[in-house]
Amino acid sequence: MTPTHVLVTGGAGFIGSHVSRALLARGAAVTVLDNLSVGTAAAVAPGARLVTGDVRDRAAVAEALHDVDAVVHLAAQVTIRGSFERFYDDLDTTRMGTANLVRTLDPARVRWFTLASSMAVYADAPSAAPITEAHATQPLSPYGVGKLAAEQVCGQMLAHLGVPLTVLRFFNTFGPGQTYTPYVGVITIFLTKLLRGESPVIFGDGEQARDFVHVDDITAGVLGSLGRAEGTFNLGSGRGTSLNALAGLLTDQVAPAATVLREAERPGELRFSVADIRAAREAFGYRPTRTLERDLGGVVDDIRARLSAPPETPPHPR
């Protein structure tokens, strides 16, 4: 099927805003559901309809689902280390928010459902070799537990309702437009600190390997699979990079004299997390075109511009 009107939950956020713009460029109508806790109304793609509300709120979900024929469900509290501190809200949003979305949709109208899942559902790997979708799912964090539960809720209930499902397990996504927080997006965190003249921190020995995939490639994977490929698929670059190598790459580009600090390893973090992307390539032609080495410059420029921008002036009380 070719969707004509897509609901993007979390569409005011980093990945959601990119996906929404790409859908609009393809000619689809887009509704965004976002509670604006991290995303902003300014980030919503021009031309999209914004429903401000929480994915756990049935009335807001029902309003957002009006007249849509496909759902791209991205809304979540995206943090692994932070999910230990906020485990109840994290699990409530990811698991029950997904359940609320599924129970509210009309299966006669919604003909495709794409769930954004995460590499956090996997057990740790023994090496930096890429892992397939058959790798054991034994999450190390509440965030991963919630994402795996969301996969299971969708898998059972959407099959019962007769709605086709695509589960996309995102690996470490980077690119312009990611909001800085202390927990999410190591590239954004490192670059923000370096550009502020601060020292970034590596937890553990730095030899842990990550698969850094550009948001444009994630967006291409979402659109390429939408309406075409049922099943569960990794979306990454297929390449592993150690945090030590990443720190060297970033400091060389931004602040060669900077010092990288070391702290003890934190709970919940996978040591090795690199995607085998063959299944996505075979099912819907997924082929990443961006690389760390070529595309970091755009992220540096984006963060530098945001750091130098004047702070927003709060509105005067009326």
pLDDT value of position 79: 64
Whether 315 maps to a domain, the answer reads: no
Whether 314 maps to a domain, the answer reads: no
CATH number at residue 216: 3.40.50.720
* Domain with 101 in it: 5-308
pLDDT value of position 107: 98
Whether 313 maps to a domain, the answer reads: no
Q: What is the pLDDT along the chain (318 residues), one digit of tens a residue?
A: 899 999 999 999 999 999 999 999 999 999 999 999 888 999 999 999 999 999 999 999 999 999 999 999 999 876 665 555 677 888 888 999 999 999 999 999 999 999 999 999 999 999 999 999 999 999 998 899 999 999 999 999 999 999 999 999 999 999 999 988 877 789 999 999 999 999 999 999 999 999 999 999 999 999 999 999 999 999 999 999 999 999 999 999 999 999 999 999 887 789 999 999 999 999 999 999 999 999 999 999 999 999 987 765 433 333
Q: Which of 11, 15, 287, 8 is nearest to 173 (CA)?
A: 15
In three-state secondary structure terms, 166 is strand
Is this prediction's pTM over 0.85? yes
Per the DSSP assignment, residues forming a β-bridge with 51 are 33
Whether 243 maps to a domain, the answer reads: yes
Whether 318 maps to a domain, the answer reads: no
pLDDT value of position 84: 59
The amino acid at 135: H
Between CA 235 and CA 238 the distance in angstroms is 8
Whether 317 maps to a domain, the answer reads: no
Whether 298 maps to a domain, the answer reads: yes
- Per the structure, how many domains does the chain have? 1
Whether 45 maps to a domain, the answer reads: yes
End-to-end CA, the chain: 49
pLDDT value of position 81: 54
